[in-house]
Amino acid sequence: MVLLVVQIAAVVAVAMVLLRWRKNAQRRGRQTWESLLARLRPEWSARELSDHFLWQEGLSATPEDAWQRMEGPKGLWVIYQNARVMQEMADFAAKNCDSVDRLLIETLHSDAMQIRFCVLLALAQYAFRHASEGVRVNAFRAASIYTGMAARMTQLLQEHAAVMVPDFVAAM
């Protein structure tokens, strides 16, 4: 009897995951540049961490300074969500532009995955140890990759959708 309940629960869980995946795939198929830009969260900006944000990689802040400027977990969560949106923007560009640099798209995908991993690791560490050195280092690493990703996304937009650059810069 217990085995039957576990099997039913597993089938229901798998069905829910597949339905959610399908719904997200349909949503991604209907996206436009404008809808993607509207999903970027401007509550926190990496401008506070870099003098040349959106144009050049690298941070001009220390890990401790970066942690305070990003307002701790709040800024990390914004980075996490914006990384996903920028990854979807890269997918949109790859789908709608034949001349897009595939290496740049793959780099943006890699950046997004690294950012999301660093953020989740930092948030998990923060939950157990608060703002320890490890949390600040992972947050700094995520912010550093994030500035590089934003610079590469700006480059992609300049090459294939130059009219969107001002909106992207304003949203970031």
- Please tell me whether residues 18 and 40 are part of one structural domain: no
Q: What is the pLDDT of residues 2-20, one digit of tens each?
A: 888 888 988 998 989 888 8
- Please tell me whether residues 22 and 87 are part of one structural domain: no
- Please tell me whether residues 12 and 43 are part of one structural domain: no
- Please tell me whether residues 65 and 135 are part of one structural domain: yes
* Other CB atoms within 10 Å distance of the CB of residue 129: 11
For residue 2, how far is the Cα from the chain centroid?
A: 41
Choose between 70 and 106: higher pLDDT. Answer: 106
Confidence (pLDDT) at 81: 93
- Please tell me whether residues 46 and 79 are part of one structural domain: yes
Confidence (pLDDT) at 48: 67
Confidence (pLDDT) at 58: 64
- Please tell me whether residues 58 and 138 are part of one structural domain: yes
Q: Is the pLDDT of residue 170 over 80?
A: no
- Please tell me whether residues 99 and 42 are part of one structural domain: yes
First to last CA, the chain: 54
- Please tell me whether residues 70 and 13 are part of one structural domain: no
Confidence (pLDDT) at 133: 81
- Please tell me whether residues 18 and 48 are part of one structural domain: no
Confidence (pLDDT) at 120: 92
Can you tell me which residue has the tokens 């949503």? Answer: 27
Q: What is the pLDDT of residues 27-70, one digit of tens each?
A: 767 788 888 888 888 877 766 666 666 665 666 677 788 888 88
Are the CB atoms for 47 and 82 separated by under 8 Å?
no
CA distance 93 to 109: 12
- Please tell me whether residues 81 and 26 are part of one structural domain: no
Q: What is the pLDDT of residues 135-164, one digit of tens each?
A: 888 888 898 898 888 888 888 888 877 777
CA distance 160 to 68: 36
Q: What is the band of 111 on the pLDDT scale with cuts at 50, 70, 90?
A: very high
What domain range is 83 assigned to? 33-171
- Please tell me whether residues 73 and 136 are part of one structural domain: yes
- Please tell me whether residues 37 and 3 are part of one structural domain: no
Query: What 3 state SS string does the chain have?
Result: CHHHHHHHHHHHHHHHHHHHHHHHHHHHHCCCHHHHHHHCCCCCCHHHCCCCCCCCCCCCCCHHHHHHHCCCHHHHHHHHHHHHHHHHHHHHHHHHCCCCCHHHHHHHHHHHHHHHHHHHHHHHHHHHHCCCHHHHHHHHHHHHHHHHHHHHHHHHHHHHCHHHHHHHHHHC
Count of domains observed in the chain: 2
Are the CB atoms for 172 and 40 separated by under 8 Å?
yes
What mean pLDDT comes out for the span 76-83? 92
